[in-house]
């Protein structure tokens, strides 16, 4: 049985298939997670396959996507409620896949950064340390770099897993593999591990 078989969908996608230890997802049209800031709307229609996790943790996944349309996105998500969550991963912005994080604490923020390597295959990890959330991206030659350090209040269990959205179209295809979740990594931000 795959790790994905023990997880549950919030907003199932148009297609999802477990392929060995990987999960292939094809998105439905008009899917996204966002709350109010700048655009003035709230969307909670993105595809999120999750497991409940008590306390602190680190989750990792490899994502391979066919990024084409504006806002095509795939990665990891941690959700405490409809108003408190973080999503992180690759997202198309102005025709270019970038690394993107959205932290939502009542309202969403959005931060993007260019990747110093090809976005076709990316390993990322999301860690929770109390009310702090940390996002790291793997360097192709080894090690990690810090992409985001944010704040989300609350010490209860979290929903943690993979997400994919395509606000501007349907049919965005992504493959998630090597998903793992365990104890949190060390709190040292500057060791590159």
CATH code, domain with 66:
2.60.120.200
- Domain membership of residue 146 (yes or no) is yes
- Domain membership of residue 33 (yes or no) is yes
Structure tokens, 189: 């931000």
Q: Could you list the residue range(s) of the whole structural domain that residue 71 is in?
A: 3-182
pLDDT tens-digit map of 64-74: 999 999 999 99
- Domain membership of residue 188 (yes or no) is no
- Domain membership of residue 141 (yes or no) is yes
38 — pLDDT class (breaks 50, 70, 90): confident
105 — pLDDT class (breaks 50, 70, 90): very high
Average pLDDT over residues 70-84: 97
- Domain membership of residue 82 (yes or no) is yes
Going across the sheet that includes 173-182, the strands are 15-19, 22-26, 173-182, 57-65, 121-129, 132-138, 144-151
Give the separation between CA 45 and CA 125, rounded to whole angstroms.
23
- Domain membership of residue 160 (yes or no) is yes
Average pLDDT over residues 96-107: 96
- The domain total for the chain is 1
What DSSP assignment string belongs to 169-180? -S--EEEEEEEE
- Domain membership of residue 193 (yes or no) is no
Predicted model pTM: 0.96
Give the separation between CA 32 and CA 52, rounded to whole angstroms.
21
- Domain membership of residue 75 (yes or no) is yes
Give the separation between CA 39 and CA 155, rounded to whole angstroms.
30
- Identify the pLDDT of residue 192: 61
- Short-list 87, 57, 58, 92, CA closest to 75: 87
Does residue 51 sit in helix, strand or coil? strand
């Amino acid at each position: 049985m795959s790790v994905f078989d023990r997880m549950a969908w919030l907003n199932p996608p148009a297609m999802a298939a477990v392929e060995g230890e990987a999960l292939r997802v094809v998105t439905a049209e008009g899917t996204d997670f966002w709350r109010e800031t700048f655009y003035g709307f709230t969307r909670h229609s993105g595809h999120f396959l999750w497991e409940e996790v008590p306390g602190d943790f680190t989750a990792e996944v490899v994502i391979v996507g066919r990024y084409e349309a504006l806002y095509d996105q795939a990665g990891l998500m941690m959700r405490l409620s409809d108003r408190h969550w973080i999503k992180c991963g690759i997202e198309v912005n102005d025709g270019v896949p970038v690394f993107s994080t959205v932290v939502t604490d009542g309202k969403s923020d959005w931060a993007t950064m260019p990747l110093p390597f090809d976005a076709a295959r990316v390993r990322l990890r999301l860690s929770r340390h109390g009310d702090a959330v940390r996002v790291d991206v793997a360097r192709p030659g080894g090690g990690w770099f810090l992409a985001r350090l944010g704040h989300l209040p609350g010490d209860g269990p979290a929903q943690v897993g993979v997400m994919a959205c395509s606000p501007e179209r349907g049919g965005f295809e992504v493959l998630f593999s090597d998903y793992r979740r365990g104890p949190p990594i060390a709190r040292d931000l500057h060791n590159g591990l």
